[in-house]
Amino acid sequence: MYYTYIIHSKKDNRWYTGFTADLRKRLKQHNDGKVFSTKNRGPFKLIYYEACICERDARTREKYLKSGMGKRYLKNRLRRFLSLTGWN
């Protein structure tokens, strides 16, 4: 399986979107500061993920979720979570 995921930085309150074949290992890498794009922004919390059977689908989904329409989709999809955490 391949995963497209969203993590939230507790430090700067921003989201990061990525994809991986090993979700637990990748989250640990983010939190250990071993990922260049998120270094010094941790700790992180996994707030959303989707599973795909093939890598190409996961990469395509990652690209979509990083787009304007994808960000709107996520805000709508996570509306309840966002309102409970005060991220309106």
- Say what the pTM is: 0.87
Strand ranges across the sheet with 44-52:
15-20, 2-9, 44-52
In the prediction, which pLDDT does 81 show? Answer: 72
Domain boundaries, the chain: 2-85
Confidence of residue 78 (pLDDT cuts 50, 70, 90): confident
In the prediction, which pLDDT does 13 show? Answer: 86
- 32-64: pLDDT as tens digits: 999 998 998 989 999 999 999 999 999 999 999
What mean pLDDT is predicted for residues 6-12? Answer: 91
CA distance 14 to 50: 19
Count of CB atoms within 10 A of residue 52's CB? 17
CATH architecture of the domain formed by 2-85? 3-Layer(aba) Sandwich (3.40)
CA atoms within 13 A on the CB side of 18: 20
Confidence of residue 69 (pLDDT cuts 50, 70, 90): very high
pLDDT(72) > 70? yes
Confidence of residue 84 (pLDDT cuts 50, 70, 90): low
